[in-house]
Structure 1
């Protein structure tokens, strides 16, 4: 489904974010991308939906060379890929349902975009998406009245409503407490298992990655230094991914949770 072939990404300031990336990710896999901050994790997943353009190599998604897409083709391609951010990207002053309905805006005729009037079938799909993540009862509540975990589930429902083949998640639990993180991760796993949607997640929480993902991709200095099943990951492998700094990463995460 997704194939990186000798992919490189160099930013305009000369920073080489990715180099010599060769990966194949099949439909329905749950993949966690781990590594130090600045290792290239976010860049890797953001290249998949063309949020970042690659500099060299090829990136193929379902037999489509992503780098060759232009204009409407890029927008059409992105409809198949859901993106979940750490910051939720919700409109907090309106209802949960309205936030999910936003996923249909690109497909609306101009008059519906202006008036904000959605079809009955779109409203049903939005409610079904909320039901899948367990917050149907929050449909008519304003987003700013929800907890952080509930807001992340709204973002996930919004993504599900667009019926994606792939979900990219960029640090989706970074701002959540451990209990809420577990609930959100269970949602990701259920969606992956029940709907056969590929999930590729950039995540700092190593223990969570190992518990929920089927496959781990370790990135260090823009290169893949490990690619294998979660149960194959050893302490030695983690040391190679994190350059012996895993304890520092854990301490940093624990300190940040104090302020959640």
Structure 2
């Protein structure tokens, strides 16, 4: 990313962001609410067009034309904060939608058995195989979030983007899902960029941390270097509590 700027309603959200995301690692994006974390992910998956600046992706090139953007999207999967599921479909069918771009959208044919098995395996990875045939509208928030993660994993993407992928998940499952994503990175060479609000999760899961404040990058380095000074730069000083 080179000198990216994005405005929403005339208000600057990203201000001259230049950043390199290393391949094959987990990068966590952290910061206060409203500093541009979700917008940054939107630029990375092509849903948000920057006012100026460029994004260049290894294997796809600069994302400045329709062909390059389509090539990039075929290699990318996103876990959305609002889950983006179809309530009338089962958990299994929602996971299969992660492969919707691999067949004709009007095809009346059922999904092949091999792909249904692959979807079931993805649900098993996130601990939801027993709920595979339950409609998404009947799932809890945490279960819906896990379906979203399974739908991203079934694509076997080169790039995995996650907007608060563990926000609705029971804390007891966060460590397990973190291990699932880490295995995808290590075994498949996935490049993961995750917006996280749990700093402890970011420290445990990420190789690198990017800290945003007021639409700018104020920290970019190894997770092990995200010390008290870095936290203050990103989140500001902690308030002093009166006795």
The TM-score normalised by the length of structure 2 is: 0.88
Name the structure 1 match of 2:171: 178
Deviation at 1:130, TM superposition (A): 2.4
Root mean square deviation of aligned Cα = 2.3
Query: Which among 187, 192, 205 is matched to residue 194 of structure 1?
Result: 187
Structure 1: which 5+ runs fail to align? 249-260
Query: Which among 91, 107, 129 is matched to residue 96 of structure 1?
Result: 91
Cα shift readout 1:98-151 (whole Å, capped 9, x = no counterpart) = 111112222222541xx2622233223323322333433432233344443332
Query: Which among 31, 37, 41 is matched to residue 45 of structure 1?
Result: 41
Answer yes or no: is 1:59 the counterpart of 2:40. no
Separation of aligned partners in 2, 1:199 and 1:234: 22
Matches within 5 A, 1:88-237: 88-112=83-107, 115=108, 117-237=110-230
When residues 246 and 228 of structure 1 are mapped into structure 2, their CA distance, relative to the original with a 3 A threshold, is: farther
Name the structure 1 match of 2:22: 26
Does the 8 Å contact 1:58/1:65 carry over to 2? Answer: no
Cα shift readout 1:196-225 (whole Å, capped 9, x = no counterpart) = 211111111112111111111000111110
Query: Which among 33, 36, 57 is matched to residue 32 of structure 2?
Result: 36
Answer yes or no: is 1:6 the counterpart of 2:3. yes
Separation of aligned partners in 2, 1:56 and 1:145: 43
Structure 2: which 5+ runs fail to align? none
Does the 8 Å contact 2:57/2:63 carry over to 1? Answer: no
Name the structure 1 match of 2:65: 69
When residues 241 and 161 of structure 1 are mapped into structure 2, their CA distance, relative to the original with a 3 A threshold, is: same
Deviation at 1:247, TM superposition (A): 9.2
When residues 210 and 50 of structure 1 are mapped into structure 2, their CA distance, relative to the original with a 3 A threshold, is: same
- SS of equivalent to 1:157: helix
Does the 8 Å contact 2:37/2:212 carry over to 1? Answer: yes
When residues 231 and 78 of structure 1 are mapped into structure 2, their CA distance, relative to the original with a 3 A threshold, is: same
Separation of aligned partners in 1, 2:89 and 2:16: 44
Deviation at 1:246, TM superposition (A): 8.1
Q: Paired residues, what number?
A: 241
Name the structure 2 match of 1:79: 74
Separation of aligned partners in 2, 1:247 and 1:241: 18
